[in-house]
Structure 1
Amino acid sequence: MKTAMISAACMALGLGAATAAGAQDGDVGAALYADYCAACHGANALGDGDMANVMTIPSPNLTLLAQANDGEFPMLKVIHIIDGRTGIRAHGGPMPVFGRVFASSEPGPANPYGSVLEVRGRTLSLALYLESLQK
C-alpha cells in the first residue's frame, strides 16, 4: 500500500519511476529538512524548533501526521503544504512557499523543465523524509 501511494504521488507530481528512486534518497530529504524546516518544527520534527516560541500559531509535531490520518501518511496533502498549494498559515502569515524556494536559479531556454523537476524532486524528497519520521 505504501509503495502504491508513493507511486501515485510521483505520478501526481509528474515524475516518472526513474526519478522516484533518486527522490527517495533519505539524505536529500534530511538535508532539506535541516535547512528549511528544523528552525520551526525542531530537529526531530516535534514542533519544538528554536523559532516555535515566537510563532503566533503553534508549529505542529510532524511525527504524528500519519497517526492523525487513521495511520496513513497523507502524502499528497503534505506535498501540497510544502509546495504552497494549501495556504497553511504560520507566524501570523503564510507558511513559506517552498515550491518557490526550491526552484532553480537558472531556468531558461537551456533548462526549460529543470526548475519544475527540481522543485518536485526536492518536495518529494522532503515528504518522503517526513513519512520516515512517523510514529
Structure 2
Amino acid sequence: MRVLTICLILPLAAAAQEARVAEGEDLFLRYCATCHGEEARGDGSMQKVLSVDVPDLTRLAGEDGFPHFDVIAKIDGRDPVVSHGGAMPIWGDFFDEGEGAFVRTEAGQPIVTSPPVAALVAWLETVQR
C-alpha cells in the first residue's frame, strides 16, 4: 500500500512543480524581464538607463548548489536591494500575496515565502547554467 501511495503522489508532485515553474516564468517575464532580460542574463531593455549593473541571474548557482535562501531574501525584501529602492519588488506588495509557500533548500531546509516568490525561485533554478 505504501509503494502504491508513493507511486501516485510522485507524479502529482512533479506536475505541481512543473506548474510552479511555468508560473514563475510568466511572473518573471511580466515583472522582471524589463531589467533582467527575457532569459535572465541581465540584458533587459532598461539595463542601459540604470545606474547599476543588472546581474546575470542564470549564474546564481555555485559549487554548493542554488542559493535558495539568498535569492528569496533578495526578492521578498529580507535582504534589501538598494538598486530596487531598498526592497524588491518596487512594484508594490504583489509578491507578498497568498498563503505561505515552502521552498526547500539543497540541504532540505524549508523556507517560507509567498507563492509568487516560490514560483519565481522555482523558475530561476531551472535556468542556471
TM-score for both structures, normalised by structure 1: 0.66
Task: Please say if 1:44 is aligned against 2:39.
Answer: yes
The RMSD of aligned alpha carbons is 2.7
AA aligned to 1:96 is M
Q: How many residues were matched structurally?
A: 105
The whole-number CA distance in structure 1 between the counterparts of 2:81 and 2:32 is: 14
Partner SS, residue 102 of structure 1: helix
The whole-number CA distance in structure 1 between the counterparts of 2:50 and 2:116 is: 25
TM-score for both structures, normalised by structure 2: 0.69
1:125 counterpart residue number: 119
2:95 counterpart residue number: 102
Partner SS, residue 94 of structure 1: coil
Task: Please say if 1:35 is aligned against 2:38.
Answer: no
2:70 counterpart residue number: 77
Q: Percent identity between the aligned chains? A: 35
Which one has the largest radius of gyration? 2
> Once superposed, which parts of structure 1, at least 4 consecutive aligned residues long, lie more than 4 Å away?
18-21
User: What 5-or-longer segments of structure 2 have no aligned partner?
Assistant: 1-11, 102-112
